[in-house]
Structure 1
């Protein structure tokens, strides 16, 4: 059996070499491919714009990417990113220092200014070609020149009297310059500090204080004028009411007096007619009629008095003489 034993050929033992070589080839091929694919993606956030930049050929695409997400750009490509939110540039003691210029009347002026701008998305390609990412320094230099030039067009007093109007003019000029040459839009500008020579500032403060006093006095005068007009109106209304009430009372009393006079007249007339009828019916002389009237009056008074005179001539006039002091 030993003589007939068949030995395995060496080719069968060598059959494992192609599998390991295949694994090695697969490893050295797939891993770089995976790396290349991974490096071909680039992300963009919600608050960013992006330009496709080929780092191999050093070429920038003119397409602006504005949608957030993970983008397949290709190997060696990446995003040149620009913020899509408002950006602020400040000229303050804490940031870049204040601006020094002069007013239209020659006084030295120190300004604290800040403004907000936003990139124009469809002009980002032109922005990159012109400045290669170094645009912020250009923005600062341009803003300094425009703001200083606009400040020179206004007198010193205007910076106290109409600071907001000056800020609007600066914002408009700055926006025109940025949109034309710097591919951005200026949203707003604020003048945060105004510093002029101390003597001028003291004079301005005194002038403003005087104007405030004048304004306060004018308002007080107007208030008192309204108060006096109101009091005058009330007095006139009160006068008219008093006159109307007096006239009403006078008319009422006049009508009552007229009514009483008419009643008295009618009563007297009725009594005269009655006595005339009595005198005619009884054939009384005027003297007899007077006596009748006298006794008739005495009869009416007798109900209220205990004293009654009998036999007194109605024509007699009785006067009591005061007694002499004893």
Structure 2
């Protein structure tokens, strides 16, 4: 027969086990009430038990106590890259072009709840469809030739503005846009190449003609310059001859004046009465120049009679 003490022991053991199980379940439920977001993530809280979303708050990176049965619907805070290759679009002249581009966009935290309500997490495919349609709407406004060759900058800017408007209307922001390439149909490419070659040949011909004209003018300038140089040299030679003649005449005049002054002073010093006597004196003293017919006869000063000098 089981006594009261044994019953109490059994009852205590059963309650202890129940408490342990309850504690373990409580720990599990408490730990599952926490949820975290990475540093480059944002999200909204969703109640999986009630199938509802908390539309009052957008959570940024961190660890939060949400409660039992709740978790985050996560979205990136960084820029997302959307690449699109070989997008076929028609132009206004019924031709086709193939676009290669890239779009970088970022989700807006302030309208993240609206994005979830409208798109849940299928926003990337939605943006791709809308961007492709926007590109086609832009291309149909331009002609293949010459717009898609000469006006690619304007076309790219219009595409960028169109995609920016679509993203801003759907809770995102355009970060960057690159139109990396535009491919035309082979026949169109060939026609453009032929047009470019013809234009280049025309430009080359114009350059050759301009070069010929410049060379002709250069030869004219060279001929005129050479003629002018000859004239300048002739004038310089004439001026040189004139200057040399004037110099020689001036020198001769100076020598003559010096000799005349010297003779006058000599005539005055020797008291010669007439020029004839002065010439006779010069002849005897050798100042008149060298004597052509030289003889061995020596004539002294005393051989000249005083009467001849004074007569």
TM-score (norm 1): 0.71
Shift in alpha-carbon separation, 1:86–1:223, aligned structure 2, 3 A: farther
Matches within 5 A, 1:33-112: 33-63=26-56, 65=58, 67-92=60-85, 98-112=86-100
1:13-58 Cα shifts (integer Å, max 9, x gaps): 4442344233212222111111111111112112211111111222
Are the equivalent residues in 1 in contact too, given 2:89–2:135 (CA < 8 A)?
Answer: no
Which of 117, 129, 138 is the equivalent residue of 2:105?
A: 117
Partner residue, 1:288: 277
Matches within 5 A, 1:1-326: 10-63=3-56, 65=58, 67-92=60-85, 98-156=86-144, 157-180=146-169, 182-212=170-200, 262=250, 264-280=252-268, 281-297=270-286, 301=290, 309-310=294-295
Q: Structure 1: any 5+ residue segments left out of the alignment?
A: 1-8, 93-97, 313-326
Partner residue, 1:6: none
Shift in alpha-carbon separation, 1:105–1:123, aligned structure 2, 3 A: same
Are the equivalent residues in 1 in contact too, given 2:282–2:288 (CA < 8 A)?
Answer: no
Shift in alpha-carbon separation, 1:277–1:194, aligned structure 2, 3 A: closer
Give secondary structure in 1 for the equivalent of 2:54.
strand
CA distance in 2, matches of 1:263, 1:144: 103
The alignment of Structure 1 onto Structure 2 pairs a total of residues equal to: 294
Q: Structure 2: any 5+ residue segments left out of the alignment?
A: 298-311
Give secondary structure in 1 for the equivalent of 2:75.
strand
Shift in alpha-carbon separation, 1:293–1:191, aligned structure 2, 3 A: same
CA distance in 1, matches of 2:177, 2:82: 10
Q: CA RMSD in A?
A: 4.4
1:36-85 Cα shifts (integer Å, max 9, x gaps): 11111112112211111111222222355453222211111111111122
Q: Could you tell me how far 1:153 is from its partner in structure 2? A: 0.8
Give secondary structure in 2 for the equivalent of 1:192.
strand
